[in-house]
Each structure stands twice: as C-alpha cells, then as structure tokens.
Structure 1
Amino acid sequence: MITNNLNDLLNKLDDNKIFYRLSKVRPEAIMVEVAVPGQRWEIEFMEDGSIEIEKFISAGGDLYDERELEVLFNEFSD
C-alpha cells in the first residue's frame, strides 16, 4: 500500500509493530524516523504533498566500546 497520508503510515507501522518516532528538521516537512534491524529510514512528508524517503542500510559493521565516543565527537563536533 502506498500512502500520501501521514496518519495512514503511522497506523500501518503501529499495526506491524515497527518502531518509529516523529521529528521535524525542516520547516516544510514532518519526518518519520523508522528503525528496523539493519536499517534506518527517514520518511519526510513535505508541505506540497510529496514524500521523500532516505534509507540507511548497515552491512553489519564492527562493534566498538565507549572509546569510540571520543572519536565520534572529535570528527563531528563544531
């Protein structure tokens, strides 16, 4: 089922017990962030009625301990 309706999507995610959260990172869109094993999706419902979907797929990577936090902050902090 393809939907342009935010509420329809949220109901479908609930019915299928798929974790999501709502956020807003742009003034013209509402984002549904979906987490499933090995993937994260960002589904944005735009003001003009269009939908943008971005998928982040993990190929199964290395696991790190808490020392990796310092690396992350060093690389991605302003």
Structure 2
Amino acid sequence: MDLKELIRFLNKLEENHIFYKLGKVRNEAIMVEVAVPGQRWEIEFMEDGTVEVEKFISNGEIYDSKELKFLFENFSD
C-alpha cells in the first residue's frame, strides 16, 4: 500500500465518521488506531507496502475503580 492508499483509507474513515488517531510504534510503520463500539483496531501500514491489522474486541464487561489497582499490580515494570 502506498501513501495515496493510506490517505484514501484515512479519508474513508472520516467520511464514515469513524474515530482514529495516527501513531508510530515501529521504525518501519505508521499506525492507525481505530475506535468503534466494542472494538479497537491497530492497523499498521509498513514501509514495504504490507498492512497488518490487529483487533481488540471487548466482551462488554465493565469494571469499577478496583480494576485500576489490578492494572498497576500486573502491568507495571
């Protein structure tokens, strides 16, 4: 996928009122983070033209503030 296709993809997200933000995690890629109800997608456009899509899907469970303690206890360095 080239730059024109990335721009077309971003325009299509905007036309469909789908929230996204751009980021960069790897040296060789641009990441588009997409948020839709119950899901978050990480779409990476690689410098070699490949595209990788990872989807994070919620089971709908909502946690209270006690979950914050769990997050810090289990995911801090």
Normalised by the size of structure 1, how large is the TM-score?
A: 0.89
2:16, 2:64 → 1: CA distance? 32
The structural deviation recorded for 1:45 is 0.2
Q: Counterparts in 2 of 1:46-61, with a 5 A limit?
A: 46-61=46-61
The structural deviation recorded for 1:59 is 2.1
Gaps of 5+ in 1: none
Judging by fraction of residues, say which structure has more helix.
2
2:55, 2:63 → 1: CA distance? 23
Normalised by the size of structure 2, how large is the TM-score?
A: 0.90
Query: Number of residue pairs matched?
Result: 74
The structural deviation recorded for 1:56 is 1.0
The structural deviation recorded for 1:67 is 2.1
1:7, 1:64 → 2: CA distance? 37
Q: Kindly report the root-mean-square deviation, in angstroms, between the aligned alpha carbons of the 2 structures.
A: 0.9
Matched, 1:70 2:69: yes
1:66, 1:31 → 2: CA distance? 30
Question: What is the percent sequence identity of the aligned residues?
Answer: 69
Gaps of 5+ in 2: none
Matched, 1:42 2:36: no
1:16, 1:26 → 2: CA distance? 28
